[in-house]
Amino acid sequence: MAYPFVISAYAIIDIAYAIVISANSFVISAYAIVISAYAIVISAYPFVISAYAIIDFAYAIVISAYAFVIFAMTFADYTYAKIINRHQK
C-alpha cells in the first residue's frame, strides 16, 4: 500500500534533482558567457596597444616636424645675421 507513495516520493526527488541540474547548467552557461566576454576584452587589448603606438608614432612625427621648423628658423636667423653683418662692414 505504501509503495505508490514511495514511488511518488522518488519522482519528486528526481524532479527536484532535475531542477538543480538545470539551474546548475544555467550557472555554467552564464559563467561561459562571462568568460567569452572577458576573452573578447582581452583580444581587443592588443588593438588598444597598437592604437597607442600609432598615436605615439604620430606624436613623434609632429615633434620632428616642430624640431625641423625650429632648425629652419634658427638657420634663417643665422643667414639674416650674416647678411646684416656684411652690410655693416
- Distance of alpha carbon 5 from alpha carbon 9, whole angstroms: 6
Condensed to tens digits (0 to 9), the pLDDT of residues 42-51 reads: 999 999 999 9
DSSP class of residue 59 equals H
Which pLDDT belongs to residue 6? 83
Condensed to tens digits (0 to 9), the pLDDT of residues 12-41 reads: 999 999 999 999 999 999 999 999 999 999
- Distance of alpha carbon 50 from alpha carbon 43, whole angstroms: 12
Averaged pLDDT of the chain: 91
> Cell 505508490 sits at which residue?
4
- Distance of alpha carbon 55 from alpha carbon 62, whole angstroms: 10
Residue 89 pLDDT greater than 80, yes or no: no
Residue 1 pLDDT greater than 80, yes or no: no
pLDDT above 70: percentage of residues in the chain = 98
